[in-house]
Chains A and B, each alone.
Chain A
């Protein structure tokens, strides 16, 4: 694995024309506009990741997004170009999620609200009702997974990020990632299929 050398430099010129890597490098030098530009480019992805974590409600979601971008600013100098910036940023979000949102009680409370949101639907046709129930079961199965498996499933299967890069940014062996993913899929598959029998 060869790491790319990202030059550390401050922003000059039109910020909208800068590559993600250059912005991240500038951010690593403490350049606030670069952090703002990174937020503009990637906050939707981070919000989406946060929203997909079953435990997160609006409050926790904002916390996670803020903490992620502050951590990005701190950790930017450690970016080595071995993954895309988007994968790296979502990896930071995943690590923040693992470290800051562990309280199990909180998780259960949020999980209940999350499932409520999915199943709470106005009058629907039968087929739609069935579909919603199925989705609720998927959400429930995702919520029941251990946090590491949730993250693997969200990043690889829902965000469709390359597994090799995900393993790198999560700082775990590639085999570990595939195992988590396999276990997560298997458990979710079983839960959903059980519900549809």
Chain B
């Protein structure tokens, strides 16, 4: 009796439990069918229940049967013919190997598998579809961006000048003609400007100016219909309502029927039901002059990778008072232009000075929300935000809101979405900062090292080195910490140099 080879045994183990028939074929088929059916039923039921409709069950059953039967038959046939299972019945050594391996696999299947919450998965889904949409060229027959007014070439040309570059041409209404968009009908009032787009089941109407009446049919699970006005967003589910905007600011919502979730740019979200309305307070309407984030001193000379991008306005003063406190994230081009969605910092004056005693602590802290230097800038035409810029914006806002996990994830998404983007360097740096602020020291160390490896000539190497040095002290890796501090000690920024020297002092004390 010859024992099967290791590979034959490995394959047989994957096929399932041994059968009694030495030929293996009938049992192989039966086992395959049985497992396939069971798996199919289970998958189908699970999918169906989750989706909450009968179709899911039927689909799941059918697909499960078909897929798993096919797999089961094929595996069962192939493995059954080898007679391995018959051998197992007679060979104690092979049987023991089999049993131990099966036990290991069963144990390994008990390993916890943590899945993120549904809301988080929705966020990822939107990011995927947005990224995919950015590279999809819609054929003319498919695009559902339909012109509201035939022959309104002049209006479209005008809107092209007004609305975001790079986006599909917006609709400019000169008469109240309804336009059907996926699950909704938009009835623009004369003069209304809006842009409709769809990333799969996620439909967005971007209203720039004017008034639109929106009627949305009931949505299936997973489908979304949103109206976006600047930084405000209305989430709807089968309803009819009217939205009013003024220069990309949401000013009023009136719900004729159904329900609308209003998430204004500032202030608390609101839920409106039939007959209710929402109006922005006059005082709360953001001014037209946008605020932009002043660049950190290290970026006063634009880095080479930023060449060609709109440059930031000059800083009103020293933007990074306490290095290696990371200076504020460089906003993407979109934020440097008019960005009504950007929250107004508490103090638009020059950044607050830092006390020397803060230096060590500051190594871990990005500029707080209220401390970001701001300056007024000339209004510029809005620039379209592509997915990576959008993600960068969101990550930046999350960082300012001390939501470090979301910030780190957002900056990582930039690296993923656009590895060749001009934002990658900044995203890599700020991801590391977010991780450090979130007390994820091991990952922060790794992220800072990755950043320093990838951008050895970056203007931020000093800041990154100093921050990494402080984390390394906590990790008791004094040798590397010393190297990092020494690398930062020659930085052009005095505050970074100061922090590096403080780090070297701290190291010297610990060594004593």
Which residues of chain A (107-158) have a CB below 8 Å from chain B?
109-110, 112-113, 117-118, 134-135, 138-139, 142, 153, 156-158
From A39, A118, A188, give the contact of B128 (CB < 8 A). A39
Q: Name B15's closest neighbour in chain A (CB-CB).
A: A163
Main secondary structure of the interface of A (DSSP, over half): helix
Contact with B along A168-197 (1 / 0, CB 8 A): 000000010011011001001100110000
Measured between alpha carbons, how far is A33 from B115 in the docked complex, in Å? 24
Measured between alpha carbons, how far is A33 from B200 in the docked complex, in Å? 4
Say yes or no: A179-B11 contact (C-beta < 8 A), given A112-B442, A153-B108, A157-B108: no
- Give chain B nearest CB distance to A75 CB in angstroms: 13
Measured between alpha carbons, how far is A40 from B7 in the docked complex, in Å? 36
Contact with B along A23-67 (1 / 0, CB 8 A): 000000011111111011101100110011000011101110111
From B71, B121, B446, give the contact of A109 (CB < 8 A). B446
Q: Is A189 a contact partner of B100 (Cβ separation < 8 A)? A: yes
Q: Is B115 a contact partner of A47 (Cβ separation < 8 A)? A: yes
Which residues of chain B (414-473) have a CB below 8 Å from chain A?
415-417, 442-443, 445-446, 449-450
From B74, B116, B413, give the contact of A162 (CB < 8 A). B74
Q: Is A43 a contact partner of B71 (Cβ separation < 8 A)? A: no
Measured between alpha carbons, how far is A11 from B403 in the docked complex, in Å? 39
In the complex, what residues of B have CB within 8 A of residue A48's CB? 113, 115
Task: Say yes or no for B112: interface residue by CB 8 A criterion.
Answer: yes
Measured between alpha carbons, how far is A192 from B101 in the docked complex, in Å? 11
Task: Say yes or no for B23: interface residue by CB 8 A criterion.
Answer: no
In the complex, what residues of A have CB within 8 A of residue B136's CB? 30, 32
Across chains A and B, the number of contacting residue pairs, with CB separation under 8 Å, is 176
In the complex, what residues of A have CB within 8 A of residue B63's CB? 19-20
Q: Is A182 a contact partner of B9 (Cβ separation < 8 A)? A: yes
In the complex, what residues of B have CB within 8 A of residue A37's CB? 200-201
From B14, B74, B128, B202, give the contact of A66 (CB < 8 A). B128
Additional A-B contacts beyond A47-B121, A109-B442, A160-B39 (18; CB < 8 A): A16-B51, A30-B136, A32-B198, A32-B199, A36-B222, A43-B125, A48-B115, A59-B412, A63-B416, A73-B132, A117-B112, A135-B112, A138-B107, A138-B111, A142-B108, A157-B108, A189-B100, A189-B101
Q: Is B110 a contact partner of A135 (Cβ separation < 8 A)? A: yes
Which residues of chain B (70-120) have a CB below 8 Å from chain A?
71, 74-75, 78, 100-101, 104-105, 107-116, 120
In the complex, what residues of B have CB within 8 A of residue A135's CB? 107, 110-112
Chain A interface residue bracket vs B: 35 or more
Q: Is B416 a contact partner of A67 (Cβ separation < 8 A)? A: yes
Measured between alpha carbons, how far is A155 from B214 in the docked complex, in Å? 47
In the complex, what residues of A have CB within 8 A of residue B417's CB? 66
Binding site for A on B (CB under 8 A): 6-7, 9-11, 13-14, 39, 47, 51, 53, 55-56, 59, 63, 67, 71, 74-75, 78, 100-101, 104-105, 107-116, 120-121, 124-125, 127-129, 131-133, 136-138, 142, 198-202, 220, 222, 405, 408-409, 412-413, 415-417, 442-443, 445-446, 449-450
In the complex, what residues of A have CB within 8 A of residue B120's CB? 62
Main secondary structure of the interface of B (DSSP, over half): helix
- Give chain A nearest CB distance to B72 CB in angstroms: 9
In the complex, what residues of B have CB within 8 A of residue A65's CB? 124, 128
In the complex, what residues of A have CB within 8 A of residue B131's CB? 66, 70
Q: Name A104's closest neighbour in chain B (CB-CB).
A: B446
- Give chain A nearest CB distance to B112 CB in angstroms: 7
Q: Is A43 a contact partner of B121 (Cβ separation < 8 A)? A: yes
Task: Say yes or no for A84: interface residue by CB 8 A criterion.
Answer: yes
In the complex, what residues of B have CB within 8 A of residue A156's CB? 14
In the complex, what residues of A have CB within 8 A of residue B142's CB? 10, 31
Q: Is A63 a contact partner of B412 (Cβ separation < 8 A)? A: yes
The 9 A-B residue pairs with the shortest CB-CB distance in the complex, in nearest-first order: A36-B200, A109-B442, A182-B10, A32-B200, A178-B7, A33-B200, A162-B71, A69-B128, A30-B136
Measured between alpha carbons, how far is A142 from B113 in the docked complex, in Å? 14
From A47, A112, A138, give the contact of B108 (CB < 8 A). A138
Q: Is B127 a contact partner of A193 (Cβ separation < 8 A)? A: no
In the complex, what residues of B have CB within 8 A of residue A158's CB? 105, 108-109, 111
In the complex, what residues of A have CB within 8 A of residue B138's CB? 30
Q: Name B133's closest neighbour in chain A (CB-CB).
A: A32
Measured between alpha carbons, how far is A135 from B39 in the docked complex, in Å? 25
Say yes or no: A36-B129 contact (C-beta < 8 A), given A17-B59, A63-B416: yes
Could you jot down 17 A-B contacts, CB within 8 Å? Answer: A10-B142, A32-B132, A32-B198, A36-B201, A37-B200, A62-B409, A66-B124, A66-B416, A106-B446, A109-B443, A160-B39, A164-B78, A175-B7, A178-B7, A178-B10, A179-B7, A189-B101
Q: Name B114's closest neighbour in chain A (CB-CB).
A: A51
Measured between alpha carbons, how far is A30 from B222 in the docked complex, in Å? 20
Q: Is A51 a contact partner of B405 (Cβ separation < 8 A)? A: no
